[in-house]
Structure 1
Amino acid sequence: MSAERPDDLDRGAINRRAMLGDAWVERSLGQANSFNAEFQSQVTRHAWHDIWGRPGLDAQTRRLLVLGMTMGLARWEEFELHCRAALRGGVPLAVIKEALMQGAIYCGVPAANTAFKITVGICQAEGIALDPAPLLPGHRVETHHTFSLPQLRVALQGPVDAAKPGVPVVLSHALGMRLEMWDGLAAALAPQHPVLRYDHRGQGASAAVQTVYSLDDLVDDAARLITEWGRGPVVFVGLSMGGLVGQGLGIRYPHLVRGLLLANTAATYPESGRANLAQRAAAVRAGGMAAVADAVLERFLSDATRASQPALAADVRGSLLRADAESYALAALAIQSADWRPALASIRCPVQVVAGAQDAGSTVAMAQAVADGIPGAQLSVLEAAHLSVLEQPAGFWQALQQLLARVG
């Protein structure tokens, strides 16, 4: 064995342990023999120190590159080793899925098929739960864009027979998020209820917008979707900006809604809230979504949730970073001057208001004001920050079930 740069062997071993775990490295180095010891030394020094130790890429990016390369070369033993290590090392499964989806294009479908099979097997062995997502009619998610303008991305799932008794439900997301925010709730509803989710104009995968619009335009978009769907009147579930849209539907299009769940929202914003929206719009126009993503994440999810569910926090942050900056700014300015207070009393359908006890932007007091303004509205307070459906899915589900029971 070469004695050249012996310290690099130790440095490489540190990186190798950090990426693959102590047990694997103990076996590889501890069981080296006169035939393979020099090879193990070479791999540890040159791969794990000279390459993995370089500063140009973070560890997660290097992990994903290795998965893609071993997938393309069909080196399945190495792929399995690095995939398991990546999951144990905290790489979100959703990120690994995206790497394999990318590989399906550049490495080929057969390679991706094998990679997905191996990864599913690793998840099962590691106790990582995979939610069912059957692709049979009535279960699968059908995604398309509207023909009417501006084009909005829509996802449909649930019973396909319009004669079935399930109440149709529409889900409307928060500023900077996208329809995937509702994945869990939509899957829970779909066995009994037809569900429509959509990306607001300029957000998610809806068509980008570059012109100023108003909250009334967002309400018109929702009314257009419900009308084109042909399953109304619906139970409309809106969170944050979606809750503002829901209030507008109840006021301006009462014939399209049979119930409203208004979560983490307000009828109007105080001056501080309006100033915050204007500041965020200016910040993203100057520095892109990265200028506000961390601050918004702190508002969206509580400290405890960000600490205990890092994958969820990373997913929310990733959604924010993928948002189009100009579209985000236009949406923030569109809702800035919202004030439904004078017309709340005209809403006659059953209403369930949901608030987060730790929501600093749309406070419990704001939610109470909405509930007080709507005849018969009920208020549920969850131990959550702004994205209550993600932090407290069980409590959110219970609030929705209360509303559906009232709707009948």
Structure 2
Amino acid sequence: MASTLPPSTTGFATVSTQPDVRLFYSVTPPALPLDPARPVIVLSSSLAASTELWDAFTAAFAPTHTIVRYDARFHGRSPLSSTSDYDYKTGHTIDDLADDVIVVLDTLGIGAQHAPAFVGLSIGGGVGVSLAARYPDRFGSFVIVGTRSHAAPGDAARMAERAAFYKTHGARAQAEQSVVRWFGTTWPSASPANAAKAKHVADIVEQTPLEGFVASAAALNRMDLREQAAAIGKRQRQSPSATEGNRNNKTNVLFVVGADDGALVVAESKQLAAAAGSPLEVVAECGHIVNVQQPARFHELVRAWIARE
């Protein structure tokens, strides 16, 4: 799909040298050092996706904001490890992925004084919950989109089936399976524009190597955000702003989910929001990839949330 993005600064943040883990990032527009008049938004993608998933969002917000995007470990343009015996099967945890965001911010000189907003989708939403629980002073607000609260029996087997399908049928077939799970079949077939968007997402997912999928699937297989959501809620209840007369200011975390997303995603998004003492927005006529399927509504929600007093 054609893009009208302004130029970006790109580079790599080093997470570790032994083993070698590096993350690709982009800053749009190329504003280093940061322009203090431009609020910062950090974007985190779903499993098997890359920075390109946020092209439309970036084009919409870049005139007024500094947009920081990054590719998760071994996704997109974040390279596979040069450490020959890197254990992708063991992979990493959600907290590891959250720590990676802090590395990217530190690399770019984005400190607590910049109070960036964080917007995370799916596994990126899980990363956002971890950040909100463990690094609350580094961010001004969070938008957590379409995340599960915890792994359940059978999840690991399903992820293993998807990895086996990838090995047997290739990256494109796996990407097309993902698009069907995320969008269903009705929405892409409703118009040529929808079909083009769904194809674009499949093109993005196809770029993810099997190692990247397996390593992050391991994080999802052992994910449990319930205690972190409860910690967010406890902190917010103890905040001086958490009064009955000032309820709108007691949380800096907004949860968002598509009404037509998977039943577990919808239910567990509600559970996380309740535990965190946060509002939940359910986006009608939308599946998992809210920023692509309902961009106007999603952009409206994000603008309102990060601009509130």
Shorter-chain TM-score bucket reads: 0.7 to 0.9
- Mapping of residues 389-400 of structure 1, within 5 Å: 389-400=291-302
- Mapping of residues 319-398 of structure 1, within 5 Å: 319-347=204-232, 348=236, 349-360=251-262, 363-398=265-300
CA distance in 1, matches of 2:291, 2:149: 20
The answer for the alignment partner of 1:207 in structure 2 is 79
Residue identity matched to 2:130: G
Residue identity matched to 2:10: T
**SS at 2:38 equivalent:** coil
Give the structure with the higher percent helix: 1
Residue identity matched to 1:217: D
CA distance in 2, matches of 1:132, 1:315: 15
The answer for the alignment partner of 1:172 in structure 2 is 44
Asked if structure 1 preserves the Cα contact closer than 8 Å seen for 2:120 and 2:126, the reply is: yes
**SS at 1:310 equivalent:** helix
The answer for the alignment partner of 1:145 in structure 2 is 12
CA distance in 2, matches of 1:192, 1:262: 21
The answer for the alignment partner of 1:125 in structure 2 is none
Asked if structure 1 preserves the Cα contact closer than 8 Å seen for 2:172 and 2:202, the reply is: no
Q: In the superposition, relative to structure 1, how do residues 402 and 272 fare at CA in structure 2: closer, same or farther (>3 Å)?
A: farther
- Mapping of residues 289-328 of structure 1, within 5 Å: 289-307=171-189, 308=191, 309-328=194-213
Residue identity matched to 1:389: N
Q: In the superposition, relative to structure 1, how do residues 201 and 361 fare at CA in structure 2: closer, same or farther (>3 Å)?
A: farther
Say if 2:122 is the partner of 1:240.
Answer: yes
Residue identity matched to 1:251: A
- Mapping of residues 111-122 of structure 1, within 5 Å: none
CA distance in 2, matches of 1:225, 1:193: 18
CA distance in 2, matches of 1:298, 1:361: 15
Q: In the superposition, relative to structure 1, how do residues 341 and 367 fare at CA in structure 2: closer, same or farther (>3 Å)?
A: same
Q: In the superposition, relative to structure 1, how do residues 380 and 352 fare at CA in structure 2: closer, same or farther (>3 Å)?
A: farther
**SS at 2:140 equivalent:** strand
CA distance in 2, matches of 1:243, 1:316: 18
Asked if structure 2 preserves the Cα contact closer than 8 Å seen for 1:357 and 1:363, the reply is: no
**Which of structures 1 and 2 has the bigger CA Rg?**
1
Shift of 1:292: 2.5
Asked if structure 1 preserves the Cα contact closer than 8 Å seen for 2:9 and 2:30, the reply is: no
Q: In the superposition, relative to structure 1, how do residues 157 and 371 fare at CA in structure 2: closer, same or farther (>3 Å)?
A: same
Q: In the superposition, relative to structure 1, how do residues 370 and 381 fare at CA in structure 2: closer, same or farther (>3 Å)?
A: farther
**SS at 1:151 equivalent:** strand
Using the size of structure 1 for normalisation, the TM-score is 0.62
Shift of 1:285: 4.1
Asked if structure 2 preserves the Cα contact closer than 8 Å seen for 1:284 and 1:329, the reply is: no
Q: In the superposition, relative to structure 1, how do residues 200 and 152 fare at CA in structure 2: closer, same or farther (>3 Å)?
A: same
Asked if structure 1 preserves the Cα contact closer than 8 Å seen for 2:23 and 2:71, the reply is: yes
CA distance in 2, matches of 1:279, 1:240: 19
**SS at 1:205 equivalent:** coil
Give the structure with the higher percent strand: 2
CA distance in 2, matches of 1:218, 1:272: 23
**SS at 1:228 equivalent:** helix
Shift of 1:147: 4.2
Q: In the superposition, relative to structure 1, how do residues 155 and 337 fare at CA in structure 2: closer, same or farther (>3 Å)?
A: same
- Mapping of residues 162-201 of structure 1, within 5 Å: 162-201=34-73
Using the size of structure 2 for normalisation, the TM-score is 0.81
Which deviates the most, 355-364 or 173-182?
Answer: 355-364
Shift of 1:402: 2.3
CA distance in 1, matches of 2:148, 2:135: 19
Shift of 1:346: 2.2
RMSD: 2.1
Q: In the superposition, relative to structure 1, how do residues 378 and 350 fare at CA in structure 2: closer, same or farther (>3 Å)?
A: farther
CA distance in 2, matches of 1:399, 1:159: 25
Asked if structure 2 preserves the Cα contact closer than 8 Å seen for 1:214 and 1:334, the reply is: yes
- Cα deviation, 1:34-91, whole Å, max 9, x if unaligned, reads xxxxxxxxxxxxxxxxxxxxxxxxxxxxxxxxxxxxxxxxxxxxxxxxxxxxxxxxxx
**SS at 2:147 equivalent:** coil
Shift of 1:385: 1.0
Asked if structure 2 preserves the Cα contact closer than 8 Å seen for 1:285 and 1:326, the reply is: no
